Amino acid sequence: MITVEEKVARRRRAIEGRPLGPGSHTEHEGKTMTGAQAIIASLEAEGVDTIFGYPGGQAIKIYDALYDSKKIHHILARHEQGATHMADGYARATGKVGVVLVTSGPGATNTVTGIATAYMDSVPLVVITGQVTRGVIGTDAFQESDIVGITMPIVKHSFLLQSTDDLTRTFREAFYIASTGRPGPVLIDIPSDLSGSEMVFHYPDTVSIASYRPTYKGNAKQVKQAAALISEARRPLIMAGGGIVSSHACPELTALAERMNIPVVTTLMGKGAMRCSNPLNLGPVGMHGSKYANMAVTECDLLIAVGARFSDRVTGKVDEFAPHARIIHIDIDPAEIGKIVQPSVPIVGDAKSVLAALNERLDKMGATSVCDDWTAEVFSWRKRWPFYTADFADYPDKIAPEVVLSKLSEKLDPEASIVTTEVGQHQMWAHQNIHREHARTFISSGGLGTMGFGFPAAIGAKIGCPDEQVVCVAGDGSFQMNSQEMATAKINGVNVKVLVIDNRALGMVHQWQHLFYHDRFSFTELADNPDFVKLADAYGWRSARITRPEEVDAALDEMLASDEPYLLDVMIPAEQTVYPMVAPGAPIDDIIGALDVTLGGVRVTEKGFGEKGRPRVKPSHEGVDES
């Protein structure tokens, strides 16, 4: 297992422009070789030990060179999209750059969804695509596609290699750009004649790009202003996003929250940024966030957004998002600041260094918490509106997905497990009910919402972190989008688990059709699904199906104990709806279907505190009057 210290050191090294691998200190240095061999040598120089890919005509020379590499382990996916998501899962789990190698034309275009997924969630990837020879580019040659043009809106940067003279520098720049600043995918398109040309291999140990200089350190004046606001706020709230995970800022975040007793809500990408066992962590916010987290946003007077981009799935109606709050927005990407909301204090910088500077400043000021009453009140809301309670069931006698995922959460060792998800209802149930203690242990497609992501990502995560138990929580719709990768897992001995929350429907759209389209279930019913147990069997996986609530515990135990890939098909009612929910475009305190224990555990739909009004809070810490 890679320690947090190692991850921090790696990021520091990346920011300094140095390769994570041996750079110029390899046996390849100074040797004459083909471009293809130089590509593999460049990957070795970058310290890459695992790549994901699929061969083809214009990549055949690179694959031929790969055949000789003793350092690089290649995972053959069954589809280039699968390979790209695997590299993405690998990158999210390890913090390293994920590397993909594919051929031109369809090989390259099949990576597009994977690249867009990584781009939206700021995941570092280097995608190497074979291209037709330079002489025929632009002639509609066999398997030619303008992949640099096609991917332009969804890459952090891309290169069309024009000469072997630029080859090693291009690789160094690609890894540097992918892994620093706000991370993202970088594409290198390599015409196959360059792969065949001879060159002398020299790998650069440094990189300098005049037009690429991310800001890591926050402006001191703005840090000072932010610290002043934080020290005075009576109702502060931290919103933690994926930037905390990218910059390994979890200790600094927790230190700030605990120091000032400030509650924290997390976005989907920010899950794991703070331990779920920390009482200050209120968990998910937004469309399927808890009522207490959403109410905390609505009622707070200071919102400290760190590494979060105010996605519409978090904000709901922007005009009514955090209406009483001043906003401090900390982000490494200046373009995110002011894009959706106008902050009172903008701070451009790396979450880790900015939070450290804030903590230091607060120390210097001798600031102490002035928000204990507020935090206690928010905690009382958490008791009143839990995601789920054991004595509640929407459909008694049927398996409740909340129960399955809570039990999975309890059974997983938080120190040695990773959960990935597909996209849809099951994703939100997983987000709500699975507790995570560490960053990079909950992997989900947030921005793009890519069905078919979670399963290959689980394979990539398991390959990157072989000692962890890796479980993909899937839906029956999503799983079928990349189920062919069961072959990849089996053949490579990748012991992943797939938990299919099976409602024979495209559940999330089905739910919207139920709530907003008068039960007109247009093409969301998957009644003719294949038999997943038999499908698993065909791929040489172990598998089981359960239909009754009393089967859940034993089935989960058996799945987790399996030393081979295992699929568990869990049948839930098709009508099961994810609650609470905020309708698209509605303010996030206008909540459908939150459980209210003060009303005896029923689902209620009301805006804000509803008819009963805001719970009265006694002035000191004596507790909360819920009447």
Partner 1 sequence: MNYLLSVLVENKPGVLSRVTGLISRRGFNIESLTVAPTEDSNLSRMTIIVEADEIGFEQITKQLHKLVSVYKISDLTYEDAVERELVLFKVQSAPERRHEIIEIANVFRAKVVDVGKNTLTIEATGAESKLNAMEDLLHAYGIKQLTRTGKIAMARGSAQ
Binding region for partner 1 (CB under 8 A): 148-149, 152-153, 156-157, 160, 177, 209-212, 333-335, 338-339
Q: Shortest gap between Cβ of 246 and partner 1 (angstroms)?
A: 16
> Between residues 149 and 466, which has the closer beta carbon with respect to partner 1?
149
Structure tokens belonging to residue 314? 């978090």
Q: Shortest gap between Cβ of 215 and partner 1 (angstroms)?
A: 11
Q: Shortest gap between Cβ of 334 and partner 1 (angstroms)?
A: 5
> Between residues 154 and 362, which has the closer beta carbon with respect to partner 1?
154
Q: Is 524 left (phi over 0), alpha (psi -120 to 50) or beta?
A: alpha
- What is the three-state SS of 368-409? CCCCHHHHHHHHHHHHHCCCCCCCCCCCCCCCCHHHHHHHHH
Main-chain phi, psi angles of 334, to 5 degrees: -60, -30
> Between residues 177 and 356, which has the closer beta carbon with respect to partner 1?
177
DSSP labels, 310-361: --HHHHBSGGGSSTT-EEEEEES-GGGTTTSS--SEEEES-HHHHHHHHHHH
Structure tokens belonging to residue 194? 């360059």
Q: Shortest gap between Cβ of 211 and partner 1 (angstroms)?
A: 5
Residues with Cβ within 8 Å of 364's Cβ and at least 6 positions away in sequence, in order, are: none
Cβ(221)–Cβ(289) below 8 Å: no
> Between residues 347 and 457, which has the closer beta carbon with respect to partner 1?
347
Residues with Cβ within 8 Å of 588's Cβ and at least 6 positions away in sequence, in order, are: 285, 286, 287, 289, 294, 297, 298, 314, 315, 316, 317, 320, 321, 582
Which strand ranges, in their side-by-side order, compose the sheet holding 73-76? 73-76, 50-54, 98-102, 125-131, 185-191, 157-160
Q: Shortest gap between Cβ of 365 and partner 1 (angstroms)?
A: 31
In single-letter form, the type of residue at position 421 comes to: T
Q: Shortest gap between Cβ of 214 and partner 1 (angstroms)?
A: 9
Q: Shortest gap between Cβ of 213 and partner 1 (angstroms)?
A: 10
User: ∠ CA 337-584-123 to the nearest 5 degrees?
Assistant: 45
Q: Shortest gap between Cβ of 157 and partner 1 (angstroms)?
A: 4
Task: Please state whether beta strands 542-546 and 590-596 pair in parallel, antiparallel, or not at all (unpaired).
Answer: unpaired
Q: Shortest gap between Cβ of 212 and partner 1 (angstroms)?
A: 5
Q: Shortest gap between Cβ of 307 and partner 1 (angstroms)?
A: 16
- Cα–Cα distance between 525 and 327 in angstroms, integer? 43
> Between residues 153 and 600, which has the closer beta carbon with respect to partner 1?
153
Q: Shortest gap between Cβ of 380 and partner 1 (angstroms)?
A: 38
- Mapped onto helix, strand or coil, the DSSP state of residue 98 is strand
> Between residues 214 and 414, which has the closer beta carbon with respect to partner 1?
214
> Between residues 186 and 223, which has the closer beta carbon with respect to partner 1?
186
- Cα–Cα distance between 179 and 143 in angstroms, integer? 30
> Between residues 188 and 571, which has the closer beta carbon with respect to partner 1?
188
> Between residues 337 and 378, which has the closer beta carbon with respect to partner 1?
337
> Between residues 152 and 561, which has the closer beta carbon with respect to partner 1?
152
> Between residues 210 and 527, which has the closer beta carbon with respect to partner 1?
210
Write the DSSP symbol of residue 126. E
Q: Spell out a b/e string for 542-555, using b for 16 or more CB atoms within 10 Å of the CB, else e.
A: bbbbbeebeebeeb
HSE value, Cβ hemisphere, 13 Å, CA-based, for 535: 18
Structure tokens belonging to residue 159? 């290169």
> Between residues 207 and 400, which has the closer beta carbon with respect to partner 1?
207
Q: Shortest gap between Cβ of 146 and partner 1 (angstroms)?
A: 10
Q: Spell out a b/e string for 19-38, using b for 16 or more CB atoms within 10 Å of the CB, else e.
A: bbbbbbebebeeeebbbbbb
> Between residues 338 and 584, which has the closer beta carbon with respect to partner 1?
338
Q: Shortest gap between Cβ of 194 and partner 1 (angstroms)?
A: 15
> Between residues 348 and 555, which has the closer beta carbon with respect to partner 1?
348
Task: Please state whether beta strands 616-617 and 624-625 pair in parallel, antiparallel, or not at all (unpaired).
Answer: antiparallel
Nearest to 191 by CA among 109, 111, 128, 115: 128
Structure tokens belonging to residue 200? 């002398």
Task: Please state whether beta strands 590-596 and 602-607 pair in parallel, antiparallel, or not at all (unpaired).
Answer: antiparallel
Q: Shortest gap between Cβ of 309 and partner 1 (angstroms)?
A: 13
- Cα–Cα distance between 362 and 359 in angstroms, integer? 5
Dihedral angle sign, alpha carbons of residues 143, 149, 151, 155: positive
- Mapped onto helix, strand or coil, the DSSP state of residue 429 is helix
Q: Shortest gap between Cβ of 138 and partner 1 (angstroms)?
A: 11
Nearest to 294 by CA among 198, 378, 416, 168: 378
> Between residues 152 and 538, which has the closer beta carbon with respect to partner 1?
152
